[in-house]
Amino acid sequence: MTSINTHEIDIVKAKTSKIDSVDFENLTFGNVFTDHMLVCDYKDGAWEKPIIKPYEHFMIDPSAKVFHYGQAIFEGMKAYKDENDEVWLFRPDQNMERFNKSAVRMAMPEVPEHIFMDGLKTIVDLERNWVKKGIGNTLYLRPFMIAVGSGVIAQPSTQYRFMIILSPAKSYYQGEVKVIIAEHYSRAANGGIGAAKAAGNYSAQFYPQKLAQEKGFQQIIWTDDATHTKLEEAGTMNVFFKINDTLYTAPTSERILDGVTRKSIIDLAKSEGIKIEVRSVLVDELVAAAKDGSLKEIFGAGTAAVVSPIVGFQYKEHYYELPKIENSTALQLKDKLTKIQYKLADDKFGWTVKV
């Protein structure tokens, strides 16, 4: 291994790379990881110096609070390579800001910018060969933090580990996406942690999603916990509805994640003159629009999926097929967004950051 000492980050390089053994044309999302990872520990009320080192397993006490009380948060981001072999991040400041909001909500320490942002840029630069050119090819970035302090008393940990791992990726969802509207289960509740990217939010979805998949649906459109009348998110994505010529999406709240792709889609739509409203959409409103033909599109938006068109939905045992639209708003917005991310179009918003 080769060791490098920088002012802020120590780097220990792997002796050899496994990149040549990876089939980049046949990747399963999130299953292959690059040669290195970033690790930074929080102890005695302070962050230690980060280190980038070979990707490896690590030891952790069985009584670590992450196992018993679920103190764990994460972010999902991507790096892109343009036609000139330059590598770019997309709105990383928004991910860092949301990460620290999640940390506060979970009674965890905020990660300083010089650790989060400098660490992110440094490890992506080190692994730039893992970022392949071409739309659809990305390097998925997973910053996360877990409580590693020992002891099973029900209180916040005093020790934490912040890490960044990287995974080459292609598109997240394959094929058509059909959804079922939740009538009983909820993703999140008022006063809860739905607006945080906390690990427990996602594990709580697994059982309802399993039930939906057994019925032939890929995802669930979540409804509000109190009345199950308001449409909120689609699986792990924010969700948009096009009724007549207007695009609708729910406002962020304690129950709804402030998605980076979501806010980018909203800004793009406005800049393109697409009529868009941020307000709650009712289940009855959606069903009525599906029946009278005014419902044109539903699509999910998120970092992993980018934009994922939905072909139909089920509610109370009735299935509603959406019209097939060649040049849909969803695909238009996805095209414009990805062209900005891959530097194939002018970034008038200032969203992209060069590594």
Residues 49, 317 contacting (CB under 8 angstroms): no
d(CA 123, CA 6): 13
pLDDT in tens, 11-22: 999 999 999 999
What is residue 16's three-state secondary structure?
coil
Check residue 219 and give its pLDDT: 93
d(CA 298, CA 217): 15
Residues 155, 147 contacting (CB under 8 angstroms): no
pLDDT band for position 172 (cuts 50, 70, 90): low
pLDDT in tens, 230-278: 999 998 899 999 999 999 999 998 898 899 999 999 999 999 999 999 9
pLDDT in tens, 90-114: 999 999 999 999 999 999 999 999 9
Check residue 77 and give its pLDDT: 95
Which option is the CATH number for 2-169: 3.30.470.10, 3.40.1190.20, 3.40.50.2020, 3.90.1150.10? 3.30.470.10
pLDDT band for position 326 (cuts 50, 70, 90): confident
Question: Taken in order 203, 207, 208, 210, is the CA torsion positive or negative?
Answer: positive
Mean pLDDT of 153-171: 95
User: In CATH, which superfamily holds the domain spanning 177-341?
Assistant: D-amino Acid Aminotransferase, subunit A, domain 2 (3.20.10.10)
Q: Which amino acid is at 172?
A: Y
pLDDT in tens, 190-226: 899 999 999 999 999 999 999 999 999 999 999 999 9
Mean pLDDT of 280-290: 96
Check residue 105 and give its pLDDT: 96
Q: What percent of the chain has pLDDT over 70?
A: 97
Instruction: Specify the DSSP class assigned to residue 133.
Output: B
Check residue 170 and give its pLDDT: 86
Is the predicted pLDDT of residue 130 greater than 90, yes or no? yes
d(CA 83, CA 226): 49
Task: Please name the residue that has the structure tokens 């989060």.
Answer: 116
Domain boundaries, the chain: 2-169, 177-341
Check residue 30 and give its pLDDT: 86
pLDDT band for position 63 (cuts 50, 70, 90): very high
Cβ neighbour number for residue 93 with a 10 Å cutoff: 14
